[in-house]
Chains A and B, each alone.
Chain A
Amino acid sequence: QKEVEQNSGPLSVPEGAIASLNCTYSDRVSQSFFWYRQYSGKSPELIMSIYSNGDKEDGRFTAQLNKASQYVSLLIRDSQPSDSATYLCAVINAGGTSYGKLTFGQGTILTVHP
Chain B
Amino acid sequence: GAGVSQSPSNKVTEKGKDVELRCDPISGHTALYWYRQSLGQGLEFLIYFQGNSAPDKSGLPSDRFSAERTGGSVSTLTIQRTQQEDSAVYLCASSLSFTEAFFGQGTRLTVV
**A residues neighboring B (CB under 8 Å):** 31-32, 34, 43-46, 49, 88, 90, 92, 94, 97-98, 100-107
Interface residues on B, range: 20 to 34
Q: How far is the CA of A33 from the CA of B17 in the complex (A)?
A: 39
Roughly how many angstroms separate A5 CA and B58 CA in the complex, as a whole number?
20
List A contacts of B97 (CB < 8 A): 100
> In the complex the two chains form, is A43's CB within 8 Å of B42's CB?
no
On whether the beta carbons of B101 and A43 are closer than 8 Å, the reply is no
Kindly identify which residue among A49, A97, A100 contacts B100, using a CB–CB cutoff of 8 Å: A49
Per-position binary interface string of chain B over residues 48-64, scored 1 when its CB falls under 8 Å from any chain A CB and 0 otherwise: 10100000101000000
Determine if B65 is an interface residue (Cβ-Cβ < 8 Å). Answer: no
A44 → chain B closest CB, angstroms: 5
**27 intermolecular pairs with C-beta atoms under 8 Å apart:** A34-B100, A34-B101, A43-B103, A43-B104, A43-B105, A43-B106, A44-B43, A44-B93, A45-B103, A46-B101, A46-B102, A49-B99, A49-B100, A88-B43, A92-B98, A94-B98, A100-B97, A101-B45, A101-B48, A102-B31, A102-B33, A102-B93, A104-B35, A104-B42, A104-B43, A105-B42, A107-B42
A102 contact from B42, B101, B105, Cβ within 8 A: B101
- Contacting residues, chain A, for B50 (C-beta < 8 A): 100
Interface members, chain B 17-37 (any A CB < 8 Å): 31, 33, 35
Q: Given contacts A94-B98, A100-B50, A100-B97, are A106 and B45 in contact (CB under 8 A)?
A: no
Q: Would A31 and B48 be within 8 Å (CB), given that A44-B43, A44-B103 are in contact?
A: no
